[in-house]
Structure 1
């Protein structure tokens, strides 16, 4: 018998597995990579909401945990994951410059917003009002992380690559029994797959579809992330990730012509060089109405837990949230009210007959 059965191996599942190993807990993982949001994500860690020049929820604490977390994974897996890249917010007017300076004066934002306006020197970009630089930013190669971490677990015989079958999950006095796996506790970290989970699908996980393009633009020669109406993220070898869209009705992982046209229309408002679209991907972000994660224990099954709802900031939130959840399970530490699923239980949960 293992201590934990973890279902899902995106950013949430990987982060929780790392917490388990750090705390000498045994585990097995079941995952089939059906939820692609961690794989297709842009992977940016950016503490500032650039639409409003405000600090993202709990961003400082999350960032302080995330940086050493990914550094440890790089060392453990012998791969490069963390690319330190500045984020430049393109100003649309003098008024936006002034709003930036007002935000930079706030104590919470002083360590994240540069007070120097950066003049545009790239002829391939139209930015007459220059840029503001966000500090302490970067990009995690989430695609490589998910792939290599799965290989790592396979090498330890800890990963079952299959669709999780709820009909094969049995509750026992000791915990749970899933096929040949016996575990004391089970944690679901399945992203938008939560919607098909009969134990936790009462939670208001909305899901927001995001689509990203990869373009080849040899003339662009830009090493910074540019944030205008869309992000352009340098990926090396003249390749750039462009995104992302936010759609609430379409819940498929299929790329759409409409999203591609929307992204290219926005890109063309500031990009002045030629480019070719070479890839187009989509995924469903696990978003929640109140924009806070979903952590906690099932209302009736004491050995069943959920780790979900990271939205578009999974790179930053996952290391923090996984540690908070394990501390809650192992040491009965209270969960912060704003992320505890109990905030929804009374309103949405129907007791099991």
Structure 2
């Protein structure tokens, strides 16, 4: 019988952020992951402190960035990888009215540090932008696929990864500890993304799955090294490759890419990109989203050593480290969770 402080089920952005809290506090753990949930792997990985559809501030953007960026820098150092790329993000304006809304938003103290006052015009003749762009400051892209790939290798080297499906029927819950096959732990964290719907302990949390489809395109004539947000995002990856995303489908709960999703992305892209593009990859995943756009975090109502960490939606890169820290403090130091993220808010 091996004894650890924590068992973690899932290995996406949320799980990795929580593992880093455990490592920083000398807690032992084992991670179970069966590669069934793809939302973190196929995520575009952009982090920016502004909701670009409405020119409003992301919830606790400053606090999130203050936790997230040092954590990713530490992972880069510990794993000897590069995952955090500072990136210029430009919001393409569709009208004079959108220009005015941008400059009005700059008057808000919470947004002023993140919105450039300079109107950018005529950057590239392959990009149609008659009303110009606004630039988002303090933004970037996290290479989530590289992060997860190498973090799993890191866990494997430390004998902390089990790449098998977690069988809930084999979980034995006692007052002081939980037992799973030949593992004994003080706590267990379920961080399975949309897979939580199969979890008998947390399947009733109000998690909605939204399917997102993403393309990787080749566009040798485009030559941009900045991201553009218009009706879709286009994000440079290097070597004339770009990510284009994303769709939102509330009904389809499969990870299968669709022709309709592909055509939707390409048709929107062609409204402002004026050069040939070739699709070289097409992926899809179910995002774990919540109706109030806040994470779902907290303790099981009956079992005090069972916890959930889920519902990061489209902003997992920024929010995961912040919420992981809050959850760890809640479990270990009995510091109350923010009511906005606690699952108790739906009771």
**TM-score, normalised via structure 2 length:** 0.98
Query: 1:57 deviation in Å?
Result: 1.1
Deviation at 1:147, TM superposition (A): 0.5
Name the SS of the counterpart of 1:226 in structure 2.
strand
Q: Aligned to 1:118, which of 103, 115, 120?
A: 120
Match of 1:243 in 2: 245
Query: Partner residue of 1:7?
Result: 9
Residue by residue, what CA displacement relative to the aligned partner does 1:197-226 show, whole Å, maximum 9, x if unpaired? 100011010011100000000000000000
Q: 2:300 aligns with which of 291, 298, 301?
A: 298
1:158 Cα offset (Å) = 0.6
Equivalent residue, structure 1, for 2:52: 50
- In 2: Cα distance, 1:250 partner to 1:120 partner: 39
Which position in structure 1 is the counterpart of 2:35?
Answer: 33
Runs of 4+ in 1 over 6 A off after TM superposition: none
Distance in structure 2 (CA, Å) of the matches to 1:123 and 1:219: 10
Residues 140-195 of structure 1, C-alpha deviations (whole Å, 9 max, x = no match): 00000000000000000010000110011111343111111110110001111111
Question: Which residue, out of 109, 134, 137, partners 2:136?
Answer: 134
Identify which of 190, 199, 202 aligns with 2:201: 199
Instruction: Describe how 1:166-315 pairs up with structure 2 within 5 A.
Output: 166-315=168-317
Q: For 2:107 and 2:121, how far apart are their aligned partners in 1?
A: 21
Once the two structures are TM-superposed, the CA of residue 119 in structure 1 deviates from its matched residue by: 1.0
Q: TM-score, normalised by structure 1?
A: 0.97
Q: Which residue of 1 aligns with 2:92?
A: 90
3-state SS of paired residue (1:343): helix
Write the distance in 1 (CA, Å) between the matches of 2:100 and 2:116.
Answer: 13
Query: What is the RMSD of the two structures over their aligned residues, measured on CA atoms?
Result: 0.7
CA distance in 2, matches of 1:60, 1:14: 21
2:335 alignment counterpart:
333
* Of 229-238 and 175-184, the range deviating more from structure 2: 175-184
Secondary structure at the counterpart of residue 283 of structure 2:
strand
Using the alignment, how far apart are the partners of 1:234 and 1:145 within structure 2?
Answer: 18
CA separation in 1, counterparts of 2:6 and 2:88?
38
**Distance in 1 separating the partners of 2:108 and 2:293:** 23
| Structure 1 residues 253-302: Cα deviation after superposition (integer angstroms, max 9, x where no partner) | 00001110100010000000011000000011100111110010000000
d(CA) in 2 for partners of 1:323, 1:176: 22
Match of 1:350 in 2: none
Q: Is the 8 A contact 1:53 1:100 kept in 2?
A: yes
Task: Give the number of equivalent residue pairs.
Answer: 345
Q: CA deviation at 1:95?
A: 1.2
CA–CA distance in structure 1, aligned partners of residues 301 and 112 of structure 2: 41
How far apart are the structure 2 equivalents of 1:154 and 1:47? 34
Distance in 1 separating the partners of 2:37 and 2:288: 10
Residue equivalent to 1:69: 71
